C-alpha cells in the first residue's frame, strides 16, 4: 500500500502562537479520512499544509511522494483537489456554473481567454451531473443556493482528476436537506474504489458520510487520536477533543454525538 501523505513533526508557528504542534500523520492509498475537531483546533491550517499552500515552520511533509520545500508546488497542486471556504470566496458570482468547474483545468477562477478542449467540457458536464447540478450549468454561480454551490465546488475540486481530494467543511451553512444530500453524494464517492484518497474536515460527527474509514481527532494543534474510524470515534476521545462530556451513538453507517449531561437530565424525566 503506498503512502499518500506522510507528516512527521509538522509544526506551524505564527509569532508566539503554535497552531500545529508536532503533528505525525500518515494517509495511505484507498483510505477516506475525517479530520474532526473544535473551532481553532488547526484543521484548516493542516489542510493548507497538505494542499501544498503552506510550509511548516518545522517538520517534514511528504505529499504524493514529493517533499514540501523540495518540490515545485505549482506542479504538485493540480494533483490535489481542494474545496474550501477561502477558495469558494474567489469564485466570481457572474461566472456560469459550467465555467466554475471548467476553469479548474487551468487552476484559475474566472474565465478569460483560455482554450478548453472538448474533453474538458465533457468532463465538467459529467461532474456536474454526478452532483446533480448539471441542469444549472448555464446559471451564474451567484444565483445558486448554498447547497448547490457546495456541490459545484466539489465538482470543481474533482475536475483535474486529483490523486488526493481535500474537503474543508463542505457541509458548513447547509440546511438539513442540503446536508443529507451532500452526505449521500460524498458517501458514493467514498465507496467508489476509483475515487482519490479523501480527507474531509468537519466539526460534526453527523456529517461523516458512510464509507469513510479513518479519523484524525485534532485539538489545540495536537493530534488527540488517529486511526480506524470505529476505534477512534469513542465518547472518551471525542469528549477530550471537544472539552465537554459527550455520548456517541452509531447506527446505519451514521454517527451522532450529544452532551452526556443533557442526556442524563432527559433520562431522569
Ligand atoms: N496567521 C495566523 N497568525 C496567528 N494565528 C493564526 C494564524 N492563522 C491561524 N491562526 C490561529 O490558529 C488557530 C487554528 O486556526 P485554524 O483555522 O487552522 O483552525 P480550525 O480548526 O480550522 O478552526 P475552525 O474550525 O474554527 O475553522 C486559530 O486559533 C487561529 O486564530
Residue of 36, 44, 170, 217 best suited for mutating to test ligand 1, as the one with most atoms within 8 Å of CB: 44
**What are the cell numbers at 195?**
475515487
pLDDT tens for residues 103-118?
Answer: 887 666 666 666 677 7
Q: Ligand 1: which of 41, 51, 220 to mutate, judged by most atoms within 8 Å of the beta carbon?
A: 41
Q: What is the DSSP string of 233-249?
A: --HHHHHHHHTS-EEEE
102: burial class by Cβ within 10 Å (0-12, 13-18, 19+)?
A: buried
pLDDT over 50 (residue 53) = yes
CA distance linking residue 108 with residue 77, whole number of Å: 12
Contact assessment for residue 164 and residue 80, using Cβ atoms and an 8 Å cutoff: yes
The per-residue pLDDT for 78 is 87
Summarize pLDDT for 145-193 with one digit per residue, the tens. 988 999 999 999 999 899 999 999 999 888 898 899 899 999 999 999 9
Q: Give one DSSP letter per residue of 132-172, joined into a string.
A: T-GGGTTSBGGGS-HHHHHHHHHHHHHTT--SEEEEESTTT
DSSP string spanning 27-40? EETT-EEEEE--TT
| Short-list 228, 233, 230, 235, CA closest to 258 | 235
Taking the mean position of all CA atoms in its chain, how far away is CA 20?
18
CA dist., res. 232 & res. 242, Å (int): 14
Q: Mean pLDDT throughout 218-226?
A: 95
Closest residue by Cα to atom 16, ligand 1, is 42
pTM value > 0.80: yes
- CA of residue 134 to ligand 1 center, whole Å: 35
**What separation in Å is there between the alpha carbon of 45 and the centre of ligand 1?**
7
| β-pair type (214-219, 222-228) | antiparallel
Predicted local distance difference test score (pLDDT) of residue 268: 46
CATH number, domain at 215?
3.40.50.300
pLDDT at 267: 44
- pLDDT tens across 116-133, in order? 777 888 999 999 998 889
Domain extent at residue 218: 3-268
pLDDT digits (tens, 9 = 90+) for 227-263: 999 999 999 999 999 999 999 999 989 999 999 876 5
Contact between residue 174 and residue 182 where contact means Cβ atoms under 8 Å apart? yes
Q: Is the CB of 43 under 6 A from ligand 1?
A: yes
- Residues 78-99 have pLDDT tens digits of 899 999 988 899 999 999 999 9
Our count of domains for the chain comes to: 1
Amino acid at each position: 500500500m503506498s503512502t499518500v501523505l506522510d507528516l512527521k513533526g509538522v509544526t506551524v508557528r505564527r509569532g508566539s502562537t503554535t497552531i500545529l504542534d508536532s503533528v505525525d500523520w500518515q494517509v495511505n492509498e484507498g483510505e477516506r479520512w475525517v479530520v474532526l475537531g473544535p473551532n481553532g483546533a488547526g484543521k484548516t491550517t493542516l489542510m493548507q499544509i497538505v494542499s501544498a499552500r503552506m510550509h511548516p515552520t518545522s517538520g517534514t511533509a511528504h505529499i504524493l511522494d514529493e517533499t514540501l520545500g523540495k518540490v515545485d508546488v505549482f506542479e504538485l497542486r493540480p494533483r490535489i483537489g481542494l474545496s474550501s471556504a477561502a477558495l469558494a470566496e474567489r469564485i466570481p458570482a457572474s461566472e456560469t456554473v459550467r465555467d466554475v468547474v471548467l476553469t479548474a483545468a487551468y487552476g484559475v477562477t474566472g474565465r478569460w481567454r483560455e482554450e478548453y478542449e472538448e474533453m474538458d467540457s465533457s468532463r465538467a458536464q459529467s461532474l456536474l451531473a454526478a452532483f446533480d447540478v448539471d441542469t444549472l450549468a448555464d446559471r451564474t454561480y451567484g444565483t445558486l443556493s448554498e447547497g448547490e454551490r457546495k456541490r459545484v465546488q466539489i465538482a470543481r475540486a474533482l475536475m483535474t482528476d486529483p490523486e488526493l481530494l481535500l474537503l474543508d467543511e463542505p457541509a458548513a451553512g447547509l440546511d438539513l436537506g442540503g446536508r443529507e444530500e451532500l452526505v449521500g453524494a460524498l458517501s458514493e464517492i467514498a465507496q467508489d474504489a476509483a475515487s482519490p484518497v479523501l480527507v474531509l474536515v468537519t466539526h460534526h460527527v453527523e456529517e461523516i458520510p458512510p464509507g469513510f474509514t479513518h479519523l484524525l481527532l485534532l485539538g489545540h494543534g495536537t493530534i488527540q487520536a488517529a486511526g480506524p474510524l470505529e476505534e477512534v470515534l469513542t465518547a472518551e476521545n471525542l469528549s477530550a477533543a471537544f472539552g465537554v462530556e459527550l455520548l456517541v451513538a452509531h447506527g446505519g453507517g451514521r454517527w451522532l454525538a450529544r452532551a452526556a449531561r443533557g442526556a442524563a437530565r432527559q433520562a431522569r424525566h
